[in-house]
Chains A and B, each alone.
Chain A
Amino acid sequence: MLCATSRLLAARTATALPAQPRGRGPGARCRRRELHFPGHPELDLDDFLTGRLARPSVPVGRRAILRRGRMPPAVGGGPARSELRPRRGRCGPQTARVVGPDETAKPAARSRKRPGWGSRHFEAAGRWALLALVTLLSFATRFHRLDEPPHVCWDETHFGKMGSYYINRTFFFDVHPPLGKMLIGLAGYLSGYDGTFLFQKPGDKYEHHNYMGMRGFCAFLGSLLVPFAYLIVLELSNSLPAALLTAALLTFDTGCLTLSQYILLDPILMFFIMAAMLSMVKHNSCANRPFSAPWWFWLSLTGINLAGALGVKFVGLFIILQVGWNTISDLWHLFGDLSLSVVTVGKHLTARILCLIVLPLTLYTATYAVHFMVLNKSGPGDGFFSSAFQARLSGNNLHNASIPEHLAYGSVITVKNLRMAIGYLHSHRHLYPEGIGARQQQVTTYLHKDYNNLWIIKKHNTNADPLDPSLPVEFVRHGDIIRLEHKETSRNLHSHYHEAPLTRKHYQVTGYGINGTGDSNDFWRIEVVNRKFGNRIKVLRSRIRLIHLVTGCVLGSSGKVLPKWGWEQLEVTCTPYLKETLNSIWNVEDHINPKLPNISLDVLQPSFPEVLLESHMVMIRGNNGLKPKDNEFTSKPWHWPVNYQGLRFSGINDTDFRVYLLGNPVVWWLNLLSIALYLLLGSIIAVAVQRGAHLPAEVEGLSQVLLRGGGQLLLGWILHYFPFFLMGRILYFHHYFPAMLFSSMLTGILWDTLLRLWAWSLASSSLARGLYVVGNLSLLLGTAYR
């Protein structure tokens, strides 16, 4: 569709341009403006704004005169517009200035339009009132009975809990970026919630805890979606009814309503997505005044909102793609405009890089900085991160660690892989299944802290207990041959010439032997990377490799997730390739040896970029881990637009008050129908234009709105919907809601255009207007009454 539009632009500029009375005033800027919105003579735009229908019977030539004649009202309309829509208003006067010369040239026409002033004021006030009404209605519906149900609903159990973690400053791990939860935490903090509620499971009563602050915050952002949608559609189509229709669709959609009422990330995410979209659209309409204050304002606001969207959930990436696409096509048009020097284009490019790449990245990074600064106490998320990282957290046993410094025989240790998000060397009382190597005990890596991560270092040749007080302490040295005994099951770390379960080129690693008695395949040579022979091995600091004595392979983790039989932990292998990679380098993290004195150690603090990278690796791994299983009810992307099945938010058997997330079927099916209709209509218009059909100006303007404005929204819908088909992770119904916002906006534009076209095709203007009004009203009412 966009492709078609751009071709269409080319065709228009090539053929139709000379016929249009446009080459006036500061020509360059005017024309460039038209490259953005061709076929958008200012008059039509203004006419749409007033909701007036131009009479189709006016011949072309006369229309041209009329256009000139009516030009000034656009000027006069400037301030009026600025009043009625304050955000856009900053651009309004400048538009006026560009067409200024016209204004002076046609004083007569201006005077002719004078009488319109009063009514315009009236209209402006009306528009303000409408916006206020929309906002009010939205807030009223979202805040109505916000306190019910007074117990934990659905994912509130996660996000409420994480909000509490921020208030308590305990470190946790989640697959989503931190901004959304930080905002929830902030809202809770400001509203006096003390972070003591446990949020254990859905259905828990809040009782005296103050949860309204957090819910109110989410509902506030959720309520803003409706006015945002209203403004976006108004900006794209310049049609009040379209905007009203969209607002009504969203206000009365039960799904949007439900999703905005609880402590969830979705209202926050959708807020940022819509805000980004709005500022992008606003910025587009400032394109005729590049580098002006509003231009910069909207551009940087777009960047800020992008950072926000990405900071809440990774789904925010899709709106980034949309803005990226818009920016690229924008730059492409600028670049093709020969009246602009390359330097100017370069300036444009730099401005976009600054505001849309550098600024969001900085902000995104800043949210992480805040995240790590706030969460400085040890909590449930520690084990996911490297030893060095954990040392930052107060309360963690590595924080100002006081442990024996050098490894000795008999020490109980945990061994952590140096690569990010791999975890601790782990074993448990389960065997490898039949057909996968030898049927011996599994050895894996595991991200959580667990008793099964503990290993005892023993000498390879004796089974004597080195902790016997009569024996002297003997330190482990670089190059020693050792045995690692699993503390819980007393099996030795073992490897042999069997294929590893997943990485077939490597050898299998198992737990073998009974009570520490195994065979020579249990012997490993411990080596410190980059160290000379004979030195002791330091806890935390030393990077060690374990080399299997018999086969000569190196202990490592492939980072691949084992299937169900391996509890979805990660595979441990012994790799015959001796190339030094982080996968095969480990460090000793916990160290317990009663015979050695505890020494306070300062662990190397990781730098911020390292921490940032590490947390992303862990999040990606966590996201990949969310896989649906067979025989489990899962939501499929194709279920969503048809409103096939909702999500139960609250209400199991014991409560009679139930909340169910389900869209308003009228709205959703109308949306679906609209997308089909849009595709049909869009392709008809595109083909007609490509065939060189001569469209009347009225239809032309409408089709421009449809193709350009609607095209952007359609792109939004596609970007926020279709990637889910490719995702392997477990999906839920609520993932569709950002896409649903876009499709509702598209519906607004489409029906408005359709009705206008229909009205236009009936020649009589009064009948047409009546029809148009009736059609819009019936759509509105239909939505409202469901």
Chain B
Amino acid sequence: MLGFLKHPVVVTADINLNVVALTAMGLLSRLWQLSYPRAVVFDEVYYGQYISFYMKRIFFLDGSGPPFGHMLLALGGYLGGFDGNFLWNRIGAEYSSNVPVWSLRLLPALTGALSVPMAYQILSELGFSHCAAMGAALLMLIENALITQSRLMLLESVLIFFNLLAVLSYLKFSNSQKQRPFSPSWWFWLTLTGVACSCAVGVKYVGVFTYLLVLAVAGVHAWHLIGDRSLSNVSVLCHLLARAAALLVVPAAMYLLFFYVHLSLVYRSGPHDQIMSSAFQASLEGGLARITQGQPLEVAYGSQVTLKNVFGKPVPCWLHSHQSTYPMIYENGRGSSHQQQVTCYPFKDVNNWWIVKDPGRHQLVVSNPPRPVRHGDVVQLVHGMTTRFLNTHDVAAPLSPHSQEVSCYVDYNVSMPSQNLWRLDIVNRDSDAGVWKTILSEVRLVHVNTSAVLKLSGAHLPDWGFRQLEVVGEKLSRGYHESTVWNVEEHRYGKSQEQEEREVELHSPTQMDVHRNLSFLARFLELQWRMLTAKSDGSEHKYSSSPLDWVTLDTSIAYWLHPRTSAQIHLLGNVVIWASASLATAVYTLLFFWYLLRRRRKICDLPEDSWLRWVLAGALCAGGWAVNYVPFFLMEKTLFLYHYLPALTFQILLLPVVLQHISDHLCRTQLLRSLFSALLVAWYSCACHVFNTLRPLTYGDKSLSPSELKALRWKDSWDILIRKY
């Protein structure tokens, strides 16, 4: 107990001064003059607006990635005391004094700087020499593109950091597996792997590829573990369970946690509300919640409702009708019923109100007690302002001739009877006797006579329809589609018997007092779904590029230009490193297959342990490059050079692996080896020279003359900006 009295307390610490030095250099290179330029640089304009939303607690929807990355950036803003008041509208706009630029950019810069010593750690954990590990870190240090990307309010460097952290902690874990399984450090690294993976996915979806890679490697290792007969069944089971918990359960929980924090941070309604469902909107403070609070829950006969289309594409809209009728003859010569138009209208309007009527009774008011409408009931829908009945019949719709026209029935006495009975089909009902609920119920209106379903076709009517959206009756047999589903958004019990009173009533705002809450899981699922399906416009950006351009660095991005001088920030890689990294990947692949084939014929060029090391390094580094690069060929979104940086990082890690292998195994004589080392030194100084040459474009601190800039334009496709005086 009191041992410390007898023996002195000794703390031994191994400090690898190399790592310290690397960290220091990394910090220096990334943090130097961090708050310069004091202007919005490139995508800061994009992330900045979300930071502002966080600061103001306003809900937003960003389809580009999960909220963790945005939250990290916002954390910087929070620590720097940012109030969110800045208009992020233009690249190059000067920051006002309330924007804490330094603290906003600090986090990406820190993660970028820490990636340098982590490269060292990874290589030494992979079992390569100290020299190779140093090489990897030094290459990371002088990679211009990584520096540029880390010094700004962007997420790539954070993503790279978590990718590397996941790989590093997995390696630490698997190395400690051999010695001390289930020790605290074993648990620590295992859990950290899961956490880092989930953080990577949380920053950007592309992090999922690294996660899958780590999972695959872990799977292979676990498979070997299963095959290890020296372990008992129970201990194998424990191993597997521990891995499953740390690599599957922990990331999933973390991912949910990000969304939980996100949703509890942004609770006010904002500009992106419209994309979400009515129920979601009602759960936000302000906005729709203010209107829908205190609405009666159950829709009854005589209820006044607005019906919103659930699919909401191309725009969210409400079922609408107005005095105008369909034109007798369309432009293409087809005829119509000439009855009153029914459309879908993307704005709140008094003409969006409909009254649910019992076909058997004449009253348009709610009886006392209210009689709720249930699934399967047949109802009529009366347009509030014109008192006409929603109707559909076997007449071709104006723009979708294969569907039925929907109209508000006008009796012209032309042997076209009204067909205004609709059967209510509650899609998300609990039971077959489910009640139609405001906001929560998603319903389809099935026409009784023709089995047509009320559907938003998505087409815009021409001028006679005031460019509103077309509503049609679609055959029920075509199946289920969200555009046939509607929900009640605003709702009140109708009280006025007379039309004029009713009009006044329709114009009045609905009363409010109850607040309806959606469970977190439902909100998470909806938000996630909308984020994944949010359509990014496929149009090309001026600086967008295709994945093929990346490997050869055939493209560049102008990030920022000084408003007066020609100082500029340009995303450009260190050409020497890019070229040699690609070369190294090719060499690795060739050598790998060569060795593999030779081993198959039982010719072992490499000793077993160095072969295993070689394979693991390849699986993680070359594999990391491949999984972070190849999927971009299948993506349809707009792509930029910076999407390649995570892949590039892995390629840089592979470079010293290949070089050391060549020096150890392929250079047979001492002379060759010395020659090779000399060559390496020359090559590295070459890389340093390129770094130095491109430095003004990386940091943007020095204004170069046009001729100097022209001299820097090594490739025609580099869009270096040259001012014309």
Q: Which residues of A contact B (CB under 8 A)?
A: 4, 7, 11, 332, 335-336, 338, 342, 499, 501-505, 560, 563, 629-633, 645, 648, 687, 690-692, 726, 728
Task: Give which listed residue, B223, B233, B313, contacts A631 with CB less than 8 A.
Answer: B313
* One of B286-294, B510-518, B537-545 at the interface: B537-545
By beta carbon, the residue of chain A nearest B450 is A653
Report the minimal beta-carbon distance from A723 to chain B, rounded to whole angstroms.
Answer: 11
B229 near A630 with CB under 8 A, answer no
A342 near B601 with CB under 8 A, answer yes
B223 near A633 with CB under 8 A, answer no
B226 near A691 with CB under 8 A, answer yes
Q: Is the interface of A mostly helix, strand, loop or mixed?
A: loop
B564, CB-defined interface residue at 8 Å: no
Q: How far is the CA of A336 from the CA of B601 in the complex (A)?
A: 6
Set of chain A residues within 8 Å of B229, measured between Cβ atoms: 691-692
Q: Could you show 30 A-B contacts with beta carbons less than 8 Å apart?
A: A7-B223, A7-B227, A11-B227, A332-B600, A335-B600, A335-B601, A336-B601, A338-B601, A342-B601, A502-B539, A502-B540, A503-B540, A504-B544, A560-B540, A563-B538, A630-B458, A631-B455, A631-B481, A632-B458, A632-B481, A633-B474, A645-B479, A645-B480, A648-B477, A687-B226, A690-B223, A690-B226, A690-B227, A691-B227, A691-B229
Set of chain A residues within 8 Å of B597, measured between Cβ atoms: 335
Enumerate B620-658 residues with CB–CB distance to A below 8 Å.
634, 636
Q: How far is the CA of A687 from the CA of B222 in the complex (A)?
A: 11
Set of chain B residues within 8 Å of A11, measured between Cβ atoms: 227
Q: How far is the CA of A250 from the CA of B229 in the complex (A)?
A: 44
Report the minimal beta-carbon distance from B110 to chain A, rounded to whole angstroms.
Answer: 34
Enumerate B571-608 residues with CB–CB distance to A below 8 Å.
597, 600-602
Report the minimal beta-carbon distance from A264 to chain B, rounded to whole angstroms.
Answer: 21
B7, CB-defined interface residue at 8 Å: no
B452-481 CB mask vs A (1 if < 8 Å, else 0) is: 000111110000000000000010011111
Q: A336-B600, A563-B538, A690-B223 are in contact. List 8 more A-B contacts (CB 8 A).
A: A502-B540, A504-B541, A504-B542, A560-B540, A633-B479, A690-B226, A691-B227, A691-B233
A499 near B542 with CB under 8 A, answer yes
- Number of B residues, CB within 8 Å of A: 33
Q: How far is the CA of A563 from the CA of B314 in the complex (A)?
A: 14
B311, CB-defined interface residue at 8 Å: yes
Set of chain B residues within 8 Å of A690, measured between Cβ atoms: 223, 226-227
B634 near A630 with CB under 8 A, answer no
B663, CB-defined interface residue at 8 Å: no
Q: How far is the CA of A7 from the CA of B226 in the complex (A)?
A: 12
By beta carbon, the residue of chain A nearest B535 is A630
Q: How far is the CA of A503 from the CA of B634 in the complex (A)?
A: 19
Set of chain A residues within 8 Å of B313, measured between Cβ atoms: 630-631
Set of chain B residues within 8 Å of A332, measured between Cβ atoms: 600
**Assuming A645-B479, A690-B226, is B314 touching A630 (CB within 8 A)?**
yes
By beta carbon, the residue of chain A nearest B229 is A692
The 4 closest A-B pairs by CB, nearest first: A631-B458, A504-B542, A631-B483, A690-B227
Report the minimal beta-carbon distance from B627 to chain A, rounded to whole angstroms.
Answer: 16
B540 near A504 with CB under 8 A, answer yes
B280-299 CB mask vs A (1 if < 8 Å, else 0) is: 00000000000000000000
Set of chain A residues within 8 Å of B223, measured between Cβ atoms: 4, 7, 690
Q: How far is the CA of A400 from the CA of B130 in the complex (A)?
A: 75
- Interchain Cβ contacts within 8 Å, total number: 62
Report the minimal beta-carbon distance from B259 to chain A, rounded to whole angstroms.
Answer: 24
B532-560 CB mask vs A (1 if < 8 Å, else 0) is: 00000011111010000000000000000
Q: How far is the CA of A272 from the CA of B36 in the complex (A)?
A: 66
Set of chain B residues within 8 Å of A648, measured between Cβ atoms: 477
Q: How far is the CA of A502 from the CA of B458 in the complex (A)?
A: 24
Set of chain A residues within 8 Å of B542, measured between Cβ atoms: 499, 504-505
Enumerate B498-545 residues with CB–CB distance to A below 8 Å.
538-542, 544
Set of chain B residues within 8 Å of A4, measured between Cβ atoms: 223
Q: How far is the CA of A504 from the CA of B540 in the complex (A)?
A: 6
B311 near A631 with CB under 8 A, answer yes
Q: How far is the CA of A631 from the CA of B458 in the complex (A)?
A: 6
By beta carbon, the residue of chain A nearest B482 is A631
Q: How far is the CA of A563 from the CA of B537 in the complex (A)?
A: 10
Counting chain A CB atoms within 10 Å of each CB, the highest count among B314, B540, B544, B634 belongs to B540
B221-241 CB mask vs A (1 if < 8 Å, else 0) is: 001001101000100100000
Set of chain A residues within 8 Å of B481, measured between Cβ atoms: 631-633
A629 near B458 with CB under 8 A, answer yes
Report the minimal beta-carbon distance from A330 to chain B, rounded to whole angstroms.
Answer: 13
Set of chain A residues within 8 Å of B540, measured between Cβ atoms: 502-504, 560
Set of chain B residues within 8 Å of A499, measured between Cβ atoms: 542
Q: How far is the CA of A338 from the CA of B458 in the complex (A)?
A: 66
Counting chain B CB atoms within 10 Å of each CB, the highest count among A629, A687, A690 belongs to A690
Set of chain A residues within 8 Å of B636, measured between Cβ atoms: 728
Enumerate B208-226 residues with CB–CB distance to A below 8 Å.
223, 226
Report the minimal beta-carbon distance from A621 to chain B, rounded to whole angstroms.
Answer: 16
Q: How far is the CA of A632 from the CA of B483 in the complex (A)?
A: 8
Q: How far is the CA of A726 from the CA of B521 in the complex (A)?
A: 28
Set of chain B residues within 8 Å of A633, measured between Cβ atoms: 474, 478-479, 481
Q: How far is the CA of A731 from the CA of B314 in the complex (A)?
A: 21
Report the minimal beta-carbon distance from A288 to chain B, rounded to whole angstroms.
Answer: 21
Set of chain B residues within 8 Å of A336, measured between Cβ atoms: 600-601
Report the minimal beta-carbon distance from A646 to chain B, rounded to whole angstroms.
Answer: 9
By beta carbon, the residue of chain A nearest B638 is A504
Q: How far is the CA of A560 from the CA of B226 in the complex (A)?
A: 51
Set of chain A residues within 8 Å of B311, measured between Cβ atoms: 631
Task: Give which listed residue, A335, A501, A631, contacts B539 with CB less than 8 A.
Answer: A501
Set of chain B residues within 8 Å of A687, measured between Cβ atoms: 226
Set of chain B residues within 8 Å of A335, measured between Cβ atoms: 597, 600-601
Report the minimal beta-carbon distance from B400 to chain A, rounded to whole angstroms.
Answer: 9
Q: How far is the CA of A338 from the CA of B459 in the complex (A)?
A: 68
By beta carbon, the residue of chain A nearest B474 is A633
By beta carbon, the residue of chain B nearest A726 is B634
By beta carbon, the residue of chain B nearest A688 is B226
B431-464 CB mask vs A (1 if < 8 Å, else 0) is: 0000000000000000000000001111100000
Set of chain A residues within 8 Å of B455, measured between Cβ atoms: 631
Set of chain B residues within 8 Å of A692, measured between Cβ atoms: 227, 229
Q: How far is the CA of A382 from the CA of B311 in the complex (A)?
A: 41
Set of chain A residues within 8 Å of B600, measured between Cβ atoms: 332, 335-336
Report the minimal beta-carbon distance from A429 to chain B, rounded to whole angstroms.
Answer: 13
Q: How far is the CA of A726 from the CA of B480 in the complex (A)?
A: 22
Report the minimal beta-carbon distance from B237 to chain A, rounded to whole angstroms.
Answer: 11
Set of chain A residues within 8 Å of B541, measured between Cβ atoms: 504
Task: Give which listed residue, A502, A505, A631, A728, contacts B457 with CB less than 8 A.
Answer: A631
Report the minimal beta-carbon distance from B543 to chain A, rounded to whole angstroms.
Answer: 8
Q: How far is the CA of A629 from the CA of B480 in the complex (A)?
A: 16
Q: How far is the CA of A501 from the CA of B539 in the complex (A)?
A: 7
Set of chain A residues within 8 Å of B477, measured between Cβ atoms: 648
By beta carbon, the residue of chain B nearest A8 is B227
Counting chain B CB atoms within 10 Å of each CB, the highest count among A560, A630, A632, A728 belongs to A630
Report the minimal beta-carbon distance from A603 to chain B, rounded to whole angstroms.
Answer: 34
Report the minimal beta-carbon distance from A335 to chain B, rounded to whole angstroms.
Answer: 5
Q: How far is the CA of A648 from the CA of B479 in the complex (A)?
A: 11
Q: How far is the CA of A338 from the CA of B598 in the complex (A)?
A: 11
Report the minimal beta-carbon distance from A390 to chain B, rounded to whole angstroms.
Answer: 32
By beta carbon, the residue of chain A nearest B223 is A690
B456 near A631 with CB under 8 A, answer yes
Set of chain A residues within 8 Å of B539, measured between Cβ atoms: 501-502, 504
Report the minimal beta-carbon distance from B238 to chain A, rounded to whole angstroms.
Answer: 15
Q: How far is the CA of A505 from the CA of B600 in the complex (A)?
A: 51
Q: How far is the CA of A645 from the CA of B542 in the complex (A)?
A: 43
Report the minimal beta-carbon distance from A656 to chain B, rounded to whole angstroms.
Answer: 15
Report the minimal beta-carbon distance from B719 to chain A, rounded to whole angstroms.
Answer: 8
Q: How far is the CA of A503 from the CA of B455 in the complex (A)?
A: 36
Set of chain B residues within 8 Å of A502, measured between Cβ atoms: 539-540
Set of chain B residues within 8 Å of A503, measured between Cβ atoms: 540
Q: How far is the CA of A631 from the CA of B474 in the complex (A)?
A: 11
B602 near A338 with CB under 8 A, answer yes
